[in-house]
Chains A and B, each alone.
Chain A
Amino acid sequence: MILNKYLRPEVFPTPFCPGCGHGILLQAVLRAIDELSLDINKMVFVSGIGCAAWIPSPHFAADTLHTTHGRPIAFATGIKLFNPSLKVVVISGDGDISAIGGNHLIHAARRNLEITVICANNSIYGMTGGQVGPTTPMRAKTATTPQGNPEPSFDLCGLVRGAGASCIARATVHHTRELIKYIKKAFTHQGFSFIDVISPCFTQFGRRNKEISGASPAEMILNLKKLCVHVKSSDELFTFKQNDKILIGEFVK
């Protein structure tokens, strides 16, 4: 496989549940690196705590930093300031980046620091048992909201746009070729780049919301195609949910 040179073979198979979208994001990041012919030894991957934090560490044969909960962007800021020649990439989950580390996210975007943040958004706290998070859609059932989530969800792309990020995109793990294209664009961008990747979690989210997400992990991935609207084919810019559809595409180029 062409990706073998970027992987640590001794850690496979992956620790993800069967049908988790994070593995698709894992190979999309590596394919983007392969297509751009970047030197993986001059890149640093930073992740926090959570399922998505397992994407770079321990799978990537590069320098990886598995940091405390919610602080990957703070660590990445330190790396970038100490050695600006390194390419710093943060790959972490939505609970890590938007809930616990939301403050670091908006201030890194405000500074327009040259790092890439890839947020694997599964709209739930998957590792700790399926609690409601800030990205959980309204009315979705979780372990802590069995009657349905009463609160609206966070639009992460709108948040970082308001904070001043200069490259923002949203893709899903179903649209893999588009996802690879956005990751490549983020890697070559000079300034803060943010990609919100919708990656379904069947184990914690899907099995409690079978009527909206589908009865199996494969159905959940295929349903993303019906759930998403491209920003080019939509009239309104920057509304996260339009008639319960998720907007995908590039928001700021």
Chain B
Amino acid sequence: MNKWFSIIINDNFCKGCAICVEICPKDVLAMSKDANPSGYLLAQVIEPQKCIGCMECELHCPDLAIEVISLKDATISTRK
């Protein structure tokens, strides 16, 4: 597990557009192999230890389904 950042994906909001998977610079996220009851392939965290907390996935999620949580008050900002 990553001791700095934790990523939470809300499965009820995610529509499986794969923007987060493509935009992640460290390949932390991937699409699931199995569809959920609504037929969507949802995003899931596969390598949480690689997360650097850049917030790109959270900022680019059109459905507000991703939240990156800073576990040790590490610098996390939406600003440049």
Partner of A217, one of B13, B17, B79: B17
Most buried by B among A1, A26, A173, A180: A1
Q: With both chains docked as a complex, state the minimum distance between the C-beta of B55 and any C-beta of chain A, in angstroms.
A: 9
The reply to whether A177 and B13 form a contact with Cβ atoms under 8 Å apart is no
- Any chain B CB within 8 A of the CB of A176? yes
Most buried by A among B13, B15, B61: B15
Inter-chain CA distance A16–B19, complex, in Å, is 14
- Any chain A CB within 8 A of the CB of B47? no
The reply to whether B22 and A19 form a contact with Cβ atoms under 8 Å apart is no
Partner of B18, one of A176, A180, A216: A216
Residue interface mask A34-55, B partner, CB < 8 A = 1 = 0100000000000000000000
Inter-chain CA distance A19–B19, complex, in Å, is 7
Q: In B6-60, which residues have CB < 8 Å from any A CB?
A: 12-13, 15-19, 21-23, 40, 59-60
Inter-chain CA distance A235–B79, complex, in Å, is 28
Tally B residues with Cβ within 8 Å of A: 22
Inter-chain CA distance A24–B64, complex, in Å, is 8
| Nearest-neighbor residue (CB-CB) of A180 within chain B | B78
Q: With both chains docked as a complex, state the minimum distance between the C-beta of A169 and any C-beta of chain B, in angstroms.
A: 15
The answer to whether A222 and B79 touch (CB under 8 A), given A12-B64, A24-B59, A24-B62, is no
Q: Which residues of B contact A178 (CB under 8 A)?
A: 80
The reply to whether A222 and B23 form a contact with Cβ atoms under 8 Å apart is yes
| Nearest-neighbor residue (CB-CB) of A14 within chain B | B63
Partner of A221, one of B13, B23, B40, B67: B23
Q: With both chains docked as a complex, state the minimum distance between the C-beta of B38 and any C-beta of chain A, in angstroms.
A: 10
The reply to whether B21 and A14 form a contact with Cβ atoms under 8 Å apart is no
Partner of B79, one of A14, A173, A177: A177
The reply to whether A23 and B63 form a contact with Cβ atoms under 8 Å apart is yes
| Nearest-neighbor residue (CB-CB) of A19 within chain B | B17
> How many residues of A sit at the interface, in one of the four size bands?
20 to 34
The reply to whether B64 and A26 form a contact with Cβ atoms under 8 Å apart is yes
Q: In A16-34, which residues have CB < 8 Å from any B CB?
A: 16-24, 26-28, 31
- Any chain B CB within 8 A of the CB of A151? no
* 20 A-B pairs (CB sep. < 8 Å): A12-B13, A12-B63, A14-B13, A14-B64, A17-B15, A19-B17, A19-B62, A23-B62, A23-B63, A23-B64, A24-B61, A26-B62, A27-B64, A176-B59, A177-B80, A180-B78, A217-B17, A218-B17, A218-B18, A221-B60
**A contacts, CB < 8 Å to B:** 1, 3, 7, 12-14, 16-24, 26-28, 31, 35, 173-174, 176-178, 180-181, 216-219, 221-222
Q: A18-B15, A176-B78, A218-B22 are in contact. List 18 more A-B contacts (CB 8 A).
A: A13-B65, A18-B17, A18-B40, A19-B15, A19-B18, A19-B19, A20-B62, A23-B61, A23-B62, A26-B62, A27-B61, A27-B64, A35-B78, A177-B78, A178-B80, A218-B21, A221-B23, A222-B22
